[in-house]
């Protein structure tokens, strides 16, 4: 069967992107050297070095914050309509350079080009368009129109450019200036974004990008002249940031981890549910904070659903992220791969049953096959801890009440999925689930017009939509 349906390779050309051997920090509209030691960013699919990246020390961060502070006077004084035009320009340039950005994102992150091209980039442009439109309409949103000042933003490696857009677009629309630190394993698209800011003639200092690891991020968060801190990442780091910001006047929003339940009832459209489950946990290699990592399936259809799911997993294609046929790309880093392996081994040692489709892994790079654990109990580590990889834990339930109980049995509260044909049950479930985003008969849908964010230890604040403005205004 494999032979009949084999696909010819369809590699995207990497010639569309010009990667420099080394990158500096982007401060006050210029690329400048960092004071810390450089580090390399690699292609996780091949372990090939892509570029040398500068490390910003606390002095460098200070320079960036000062540049942002100075630019704040100019930027916040601009009429909203003028700020809007800059954001529209940026959105347009992103569209113009979408292919280049998508290829670079896949090279640096390891995600399939199909996703960076068809999901990430359109959403990135859409975010800038959406918030561009708000810049001159803030008075209608109900939060006032006073910006906060300098926003310090720290973003993760799973959606490098999309997270940048989520942070920078609303901040700028509201009249703030930003110092953004991308993740150390995926800085390249943020640095290319700096070039986009220059092409758009954005005033210097409005956007500053400082690269580095945790220390650089900590310096951004702790800087006394930063008025607003926005972070997306792990709950563990979110806690540290909340402690750092305590006792200050800084406004804080946190988008943290999740352990979403994807709940499938016996009357669900099964094939659609299977697609939703696959999309829920194997999209972006499961490197998604709202990934549907706990499948709760009604006991009566467990076997049927699992058979269908395993069949579907057998058709997923893992490999070269730049191949347009690829469904599952590379794990972003060796560290992340080690974490996924460790948690999967714990899953086995605690008694859950592990299954993966026959799947050849490339020799080089960081790879992990799509994996399902059955026989998972709520007490198991893999049902409680976020794995942040392509690993699905399967649990069962008998009644809707039990499904709610199990779904909510987590300190997280970011997202959830419900699959059933019965409308009243969807609304009942959606009402009972303690999660910030509930997808009914769909999963992992995002849109700039739609607020996103969690309950409980998944953080606070919302990004996207009208409510996303609240985070960047002095309410």
Partner 1 sequence: MSRLSVRKTYKLYIGGAFPRSESGRSYPVTSPKGEFLANASHASRKDARDAVVAARKAFPGWSGATPYNRGQILYRVAEMLEGRRAQFAEEVGGGKRAALEAVDAAVDRLVWYAGWSDKIASVHGAANPVAGPYFNLSSPEPTGVVAIVAPADPLLGLVSVVAPVIVTGNTCVVVASEPSPLASITLAEVMATSDLPGGVVNVLTGKQAELAPWLAGHMDVNGLDLTGVADADLALRCEQAAADNLKRVLRPTQEDWTADPGIGRMTRFLETKTVWHPVGI
Binding footprint of partner 1 on the chain (CB under 8 A): 126, 142, 235, 238-240, 242-243, 246-247, 254, 256, 411, 413, 426, 430, 433, 435-442, 445, 447, 449-453, 455-457, 459-460, 462, 465-467, 470, 475
- The DSSP annotation for 445-458 comes to ---TTS-B--SGGG
Instruction: Report yes or no: 280 and 291 within 8 Å, Cβ to Cβ.
Output: yes
Closest distance to partner 1 from the beta carbon of 236 (Å)? 11
Q: With respect to partner 1, which residue has the nearer C-beta, 34 or 459?
A: 459
Record the tokens describing residue 211, joined without a space.
């690269």
Place of tokens 């259809």: 301
Rounded-to-integer distance, Cα 336 and Cα 384, Å: 18
User: Could you give the C-alpha distances from 382 to 129, 145, 152, 387, 443, in angstroms and in order?
Assistant: 39, 44, 33, 7, 21
Q: Which residues are catalytic?
A: 255, 289
Q: With respect to partner 1, which residue has the nearer C-beta, 22 or 475?
A: 475
Rounded-to-integer distance, Cα 62 and Cα 455, Å: 33
Rounded-to-integer distance, Cα 161 and Cα 94, Å: 10
Q: With respect to partner 1, which residue has the nearer C-beta, 63 or 251?
A: 251
Closest distance to partner 1 from the beta carbon of 118 (Å)? 13
Instruction: Report yes or no: 147 and 473 within 8 Å, Cβ to Cβ.
Output: yes
Q: What CA dihedral angle connects 363, 13, 278 and 236, to 10 degrees?
A: 70
Q: With respect to partner 1, which residue has the nearer C-beta, 375 or 451?
A: 451
Cα-atom radius of gyration of the chain, to the nearest Å?
Answer: 22
Closest distance to partner 1 from the beta carbon of 254 (Å)? 7
Closest distance to partner 1 from the beta carbon of 437 (Å)? 5
Which region, left, alpha or beta, applies to residue 472 given φ > 0 means left and ψ of -120 to 50 means alpha?
Answer: alpha
Q: With respect to partner 1, which residue has the nearer C-beta, 147 or 465?
A: 465
Instruction: Report yes or no: 417 and 261 within 8 Å, Cβ to Cβ.
Output: yes
Closest distance to partner 1 from the beta carbon of 453 (Å)? 7
């Amino acid at each position: 069967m494999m032979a009949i349906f084999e696909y010819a390779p369809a590699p995207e050309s990497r010639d569309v992107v010009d990667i420099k051997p080394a990158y500096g920090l982007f401060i006050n509209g210029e690329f400048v050297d960092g004071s810390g030691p450089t580090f390399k960013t690699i292609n996780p699919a091949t372990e090939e070095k892509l570029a040398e990246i500068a490390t910003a020390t606390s002095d460098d961060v200070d320079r960036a914050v000062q540049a942002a502070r100075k630019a704040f006077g100019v930027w916040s004084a601009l009429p909203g309509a003028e700020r809007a035009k800059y954001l529209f320009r940026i959105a347009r340039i992103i569209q113009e350079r979408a292919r280049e950005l998508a290829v670079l994102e896949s090279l640096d992150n390891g995600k399939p080009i199909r996703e960076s091209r068809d999901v990430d980039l359109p959403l990135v442009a859409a975010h800038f368009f959406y918030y561009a439109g708000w810049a001159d309409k803030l008075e209608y949103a109900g939060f006032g129109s006073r910006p906060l000042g300098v926003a310090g933003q720290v973003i993760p490696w799973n959606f490098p450019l999309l997270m940048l857009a989520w942070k920078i677009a609303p901040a700028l629309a509201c009249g703030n200036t930003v110092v953004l630190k991308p993740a150390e394993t995926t800085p390249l698209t943020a640095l290319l974004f700096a070039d986009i800011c220059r092409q758009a003639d954005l005033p210097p200092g409005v956007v500053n990008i400082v690269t580095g690891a945790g220390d650089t991020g900590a310096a951004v968060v702790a800087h006394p002249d930063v008025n607003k801190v926005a972070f997306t990442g792990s709950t563990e780091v979110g806690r540290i940031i909340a402690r750092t910001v305590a006792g200050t006047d800084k406004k804080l929003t946190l988008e943290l981890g999740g352990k979403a339940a994807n709940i499938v009832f016996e009357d669900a459209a099964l094939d659609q549910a299977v697609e939703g489950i696959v999309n829920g946990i194997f999209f972006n290699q499961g490197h998604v904070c709202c990934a549907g990592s706990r499948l709760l399936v009604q006991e009566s259809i467990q076997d049927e659903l699992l058979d269908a799911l395993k069949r579907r997993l057998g058709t997923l294609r893992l490999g070269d992220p730049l191949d347009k046929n690829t469904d599952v790309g590379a794990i972003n880093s060796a560290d992340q791969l080690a974490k996924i392996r460790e948690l999967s081994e714990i899953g086995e040692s605690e008694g859950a049953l592990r299954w993966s489709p026959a799947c050849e892994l490339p020799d080089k790079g960081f790879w992990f096959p799509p994996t399902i654990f059955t026989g998972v109990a709520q007490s198991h580590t893999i049902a409680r801890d976020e794995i942040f990889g392509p690993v699905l834990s399967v649990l069962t339930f008998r009644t809707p009440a039990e499904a709610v109980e199990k779904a909510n049995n987590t300190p997280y509260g970011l997202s959830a999925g419900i699959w059933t044909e019965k409308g009243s049950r969807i609304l009942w479930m959606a009402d009972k689930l303690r999660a910030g985003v509930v997808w009914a008969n769909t999963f992992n849908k995002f849109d700039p017009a739609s607020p996103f964010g969690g309950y409980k230890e998944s953080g606070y604040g919302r990004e996207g939509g009208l409510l996303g403005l609240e985070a960047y205004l002095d309410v």
